[in-house]
Structure 1
Amino acid sequence: MSEYQYTYEGFNTRAIHAGQAHEEVYGAVVPPVHLSTTYAPVKVGELRHGYDYGRGTNPTRDSLQVQLAALEGGVDGKAQAFTFGSGLAAENALIHAIAGPGAHIVMGNDVYGGTYRLVDKILGPWGVGHTVVDMGDLSAVEQALAATASAGATDRILWLETPSNPMMKISDIAALAEVAHAVGALLVVDNTFATPYLQLPLELGADVVVHSTTKYIGGHSDVIGGAVVVNDAEIAEKVKFQQFAAGAVNGPLDAYLTTRGLKTLGVRMDRHNANAGTIAQYLLSVPGVERVLYPGLADHPGHELAAKQMRGFGGMVSVQFTGGAAAAKQVAETTRLFQLAESLGGIESLMNYPAEMTHASVAGTELAVPDNLVRLSVGIEDVADLIDDLDRAISSL
């Protein structure tokens, strides 16, 4: 696919070149988008370069998958990536690949609401059980996994988000990998918030990484997608079969847009990090702010761990207000540069009220988000303008 696939150790070099060899006929530096749904064989039973039907394989999607594997899996060449039509489609395919009826998933107590809904409402009736625990409490995780073994669970999965959405909890990937592997469970890490630029779960012992590529990887709020990355050949083969057989793939135009965004991930994340850190520090001294949740702050309970397992603290900041839900909603509805919207990770700044938006599906459960909290996806605008926008909105409380 590309001579640059695993040649260079530099992240930005791999982001730009992995899977992106120039087109041979005309020499196009940017590989063309292959829109064809079907491919003519040389003859019956002899495919051209392995392509026959677009659901199974597509050159543009393959280029993105090589690119993602090179970034998430490093330079050893073992990782394989598989992309899908959305982050939840990727999660659904993964769980079907590595679990079945009788399986059990142990997940964090502030996991993304859509993931919880998928496991609880869709996979639950199919026979997949789940337990919710605090991923920062290793003994609680061990007990939960032991209980699933005692109950006779056929397959066990430890499902982790770090940083978590939206409470910004930091969990020890390496320690949790040891806990999971000690009892024969697989560790899956949702790396959407951190991205492979800031954190490499596979290097820390995770078995699988999942992404909503809609977020930072695409980076421009214009393409939905998801990905699964693994460095185990057996798991990879199972995920590949699910991708082909169930067909929740991303189309070639979506793959192209994701590839284009991924090439600038490193430079964008540097700016997201810088802006978010400045805004988090600013919010600490603002009247009406009860709590600022950002792992880059020295008083964040996961600060030291984040500094150890991440190369930066990310672009997400959550804020709780002393005025309760009314204050949180008022701020969310009166900022101008921070647009009130679902999703995150784009170049533009977004503000979200999780209790009634992204995490409405977990209302009334132990995963419920505090109603005085807003989540900031800090973009790459000039940070002084973003602070002015927040200052104006908060001062109106």
Structure 2
Amino acid sequence: MIYLDNSATTQPFDEVLDSYTKVAKSYFGNPSSLHGIGGQAEKLLSQARTQIASLLHTKPQEILFTSGGSEGNNLAIKGVALQYQTRGKHIITTSIEHPSVSEACNQLQELGFEITFLPVDKDGSVSLEILENEIRDDTILVSTIHVNNEVGIIQPIEEIGNVLKKYPKVLFHVDHVQGVGKVPLDFEKAKIDLCTISGHKFNGLKGTGVLFVRQGVKLKPLIAGGEQEMLVRAGTENVPGFVALAKALRLTMTDIEKKVKYLSELKQNILEQLTQISDVSINTPLKGSAPHIINFSINGLKPEVFVHLLEEDNIFVSTTSACSSKKNIPSKTLLAMGLTERLANSSIRISLSPMSRMEDVPILIETIQTALTKLRNVMRY
């Protein structure tokens, strides 16, 4: 099997699965319970929080456990909106966000909030000048993705943070889900107030994630109930999942420079060969993109058929983000970058991991060429 859909989800590390199983079996207590079994679970939860904070260079009290990227993004955006709505009801985001951001903003519009969706240039980047021009007295939040999940564009997070330093009442949220372990991000240097990560994107387990909330920032809870997670997220904590999340993050950050270098070399190898294939248009910019994502269009051919043709040879890629892949609509990211609807509707995403193998590249390229030949022959009849 050649698995190249790592932006959708990654294969859990064996050590992560081992940690989950051990904790779930031997330390199954509710961390809110007063007895010793609950105390054991609470201690493990605290250790996981401290370890994650250390790896992210934050404070343990700034780490809020969630079920993943979608919940983290919704909690950050809606939590800020509801908490600070007396200050203002204007939010700025971009036109190429993950659906968990764009749809959360659409819901807030229905509640009377005003959302500005910033345009991007042909390379998918946000203009700092346009951003600053859109900031108003009633702006309370800027939310932007770090690494675009479809094309791999890296937004200038640190530069955006520097712009927002001049506007202390505007909070800054970053969706870092695709960046963890691939593109470094210094929360302090970039002046980030809230940041979302998701465990299953870096070889952890689905249903686990973290929302970094800078000390002093308040969020209106979206789930009412108990006093878990600093009174922000009610519900019994998934202790084995969060212990496994800490393990996944530690393993991901080990030898990180070496892993990123390998991903960059692997991506370059694939790109060099893809550009030699007729009917293939590369959509991911060569500069300013993450080392693990390659997006290309196949000249109007049906991408879902292409994906299934590759699957017949045990190669797994995707058409767009996993959250939108079954809608059969053009990529909004590619449309925002100025591509035609024909190209935006025939895009393919290859997403790599450090476990991807360089020796699989020739097999991948040959299979792509064969699949395209089959599709062209079908179109002739």
Pick the aligned partner of 2:133 from 134, 143, 152: 143
The aligned amino acid for 1:395 is T
- Is 1:229 matched up with 2:212? yes
Residue pair 1:338, 1:386 contacting (<8 A) in 2 also? no
Aligned to 2:73: 91
Matches within 5 A, 1:228-307: 228-230=211-213, 232-235=214-217, 244-247=231-234, 251-266=238-253, 267=255, 269-270=259-260, 271-293=262-284, 297=286, 300=287, 302=288
Query: Could you say what secondary structure the match of 1:352 adopts?
Result: coil
Residues of 2 paired with 1:144 and 1:339: CA distance?
47
Q: Alpha carbons of 1:357 and 1:36: their partners in 2 closer, same or farther (altered >3 Å)?
A: closer
TM-score (structure 1 length as normaliser): 0.68
Query: Could you say what secondary structure the match of 1:99 adopts?
Result: helix
Pick the aligned partner of 1:210 from 196, 199, 206: 196
- Cα displacement (A) at 1:120: 1.3
Residue pair 1:352, 1:375 contacting (<8 A) in 2 also? yes
Aligned to 1:115: 101
The aligned amino acid for 1:293 is T
- Cα displacement (A) at 1:193: 1.7
Q: Alpha carbons of 1:290 and 1:61: their partners in 2 closer, same or farther (altered >3 Å)?
A: same
Aligned to 2:9: none
- Is 1:324 matched up with 2:309? no
TM-score (structure 2 length as normaliser): 0.71
- Cα displacement (A) at 1:215: 0.6
Query: Could you say what secondary structure the match of 2:65 adopts?
Result: strand
Residue pair 1:293, 1:317 contacting (<8 A) in 2 also? yes
Cα deviation, 1:83-132, whole Å, max 9, x if unaligned, reads 111211122222344221453321121111232122213x3334443221
- Is 1:186 matched up with 2:174? no
Q: Alpha carbons of 1:162 and 1:204: their partners in 2 closer, same or farther (altered >3 Å)?
A: same
Residue pair 2:55, 2:250 contacting (<8 A) in 1 also? no
Aligned to 1:353: 319
Residues of 2 paired with 1:361 and 1:243: CA distance?
37
Residues of 1 paired with 2:161 and 2:307: CA distance?
37
Residues of 2 paired with 1:111 and 1:325: CA distance?
25
How many residue pairs end up in the alignment? 322
Identity %: 13
Residues of 2 paired with 1:32 and 1:63: CA distance?
18
Segment of structure 1 superposing worse, 107-116 or 281-290 = 281-290
Consecutive unaligned residues of structure 1, counting only runs of 5 or more, are: 1-28, 43-47, 304-312, 341-349
**What is the Cα-based RMSD across aligned positions, in Å?**
3.7
- Structure number with the bigger relative contact order (C-alpha 8 A, sep ≥ 6) is 2
Query: Could you say what secondary structure the match of 1:131 adopts?
Result: strand
Query: Could you say what secondary structure the match of 1:396 adopts?
Result: helix
Residue pair 2:228, 2:237 contacting (<8 A) in 1 also? no
